[in-house]
């Protein structure tokens, strides 16, 4: 498959990681778009810092890092990002209305042969596909954080997604060095988040009830279940607002067992969103990001 241009819409936590992963592996022009220059600049700084760390660890060479950066085009003009792109990956906030509005706009600009993928972590792909006039070329491409290193990609088939589209996105995922799994039945939360969000939410409830400190809850899960990171630290990494949005979508689609912990709702209201705001269950202002 020949890919000449890819657009990633959103330069935030997931968007910049997806952009970096694409630039390092597909080796084509990757246009990273966001609404404001400050968002694009922040995304580029994070990519540069990530690449610098990989060079320091001798995982890549300085020349490889420079080449990856040269392929990335940070822009605030959506038309510039999307025009003539072979693949557009939507990676904006986990809000259905926001995604639908953006996807409809992208659909008008994108060339007829382009695939449009959503990095949604919970919203059914068939619902988002209604915002396009090409549902057969619309697909879920759910990366995991940090997208530049995590191997898994959930490839989600909507009710009208074609076999050809699934085959193409699986191939692109493999070109990125990822391990794709195909979600054959479009369901809220797909595979990982249907299981994962229950564990995170229960960890928040344990902290809320005072059963143990956040540190000991994380220590118990790391040592007892062999997780590389505890659930509350991981929640701070993902973002409490993102987790709450996933809980709300899954609760609406799948029932009350996904109802968010009151503490999670309270933290979001107070702006305690983990790494992105500096504080969550932990103080990230004193920890390396």
Q: Which residues are known to be catalytic?
A: 121, 142, 154, 193
The answer to whether 242 and 194 have CB atoms below 8 angstroms apart is no
Q: CA of 59: how far to CAs of 63, 150, 229, in Å?
A: 12, 15, 22
Helices within the chain (DSSP H only): 13-25, 37-56, 62-71, 78-82, 96-109, 125-129, 163-175, 192-208, 214-225, 231-238, 240-254, 262-269
The answer to whether 189 and 246 have CB atoms below 8 angstroms apart is yes
Under 8 Å CB-to-CB from 221, ≥6 apart: which residues?
203, 227, 230, 231
The encoded tokens of residue 38 equal: 């400050």
Q: Sort strands 152-156 and 138-143 into parallel, antiparallel or unpaired.
A: antiparallel
Q: CA of 152: how far to CAs of 147, 214, 234, in Å?
A: 9, 27, 17
């Amino acid at each position: 498959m020949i890919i000449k241009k890819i657009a990633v819409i959103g330069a935030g936590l997931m968007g910049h990681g997806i952009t970096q992963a694409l630039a390092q592996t597909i080796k084509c022009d990757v246009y990273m778009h966001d609404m404001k220059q400050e968002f694009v600049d922040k995304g580029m700084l994070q990519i540069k810092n990530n690449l610098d760390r990989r060079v320091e660890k001798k995982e890549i060479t300085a020349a490889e890092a420079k080449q990856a950066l040269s392929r990335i085009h940070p822009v605030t003009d959506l038309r510039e990002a999307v025009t003539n792109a072979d693949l557009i990956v939507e990676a904006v906030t986990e809000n259905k209305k926001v995604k639908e509005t953006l996807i409809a706009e992208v659909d008008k600009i994108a060339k007829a042969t382009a695939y449009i993928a959503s990095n949604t972590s919970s919203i059914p792909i068939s619902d988002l596909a209604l915002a396009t006039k090409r549902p057969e070329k619309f697909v879920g491409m759910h990366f995991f954080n940090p997208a530049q290193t995590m191997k898994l990609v959930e490839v989600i088939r909507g009710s009208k997604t074609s076999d050809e589209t699934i085959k193409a996105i699986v191939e692109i995922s493999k070109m990125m060095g990822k391990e794709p799994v195909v979600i054959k039945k479009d369901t809220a939360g797909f595979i990982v988040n249907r299981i994962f969000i229950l564990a995170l939410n229960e960890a928040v409830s344990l902290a809320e009830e005072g059963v143990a400190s956040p540190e000991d809850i994380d220590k118990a899960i790391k040592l007892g279940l062999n997780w590389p990171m505890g659930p509350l630290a991981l929640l701070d990494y993902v973002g409490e607002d993102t987790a709450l949005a996933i809980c709300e979508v899954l609760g609406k689609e799948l029932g009350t067992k996904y109802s968010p912990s009151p503490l999670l709702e309270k933290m979001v209201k107070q702006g305690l969103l983990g790494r992105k705001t500096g504080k969550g269950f932990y103080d990230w202002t004193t920890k390396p990001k």
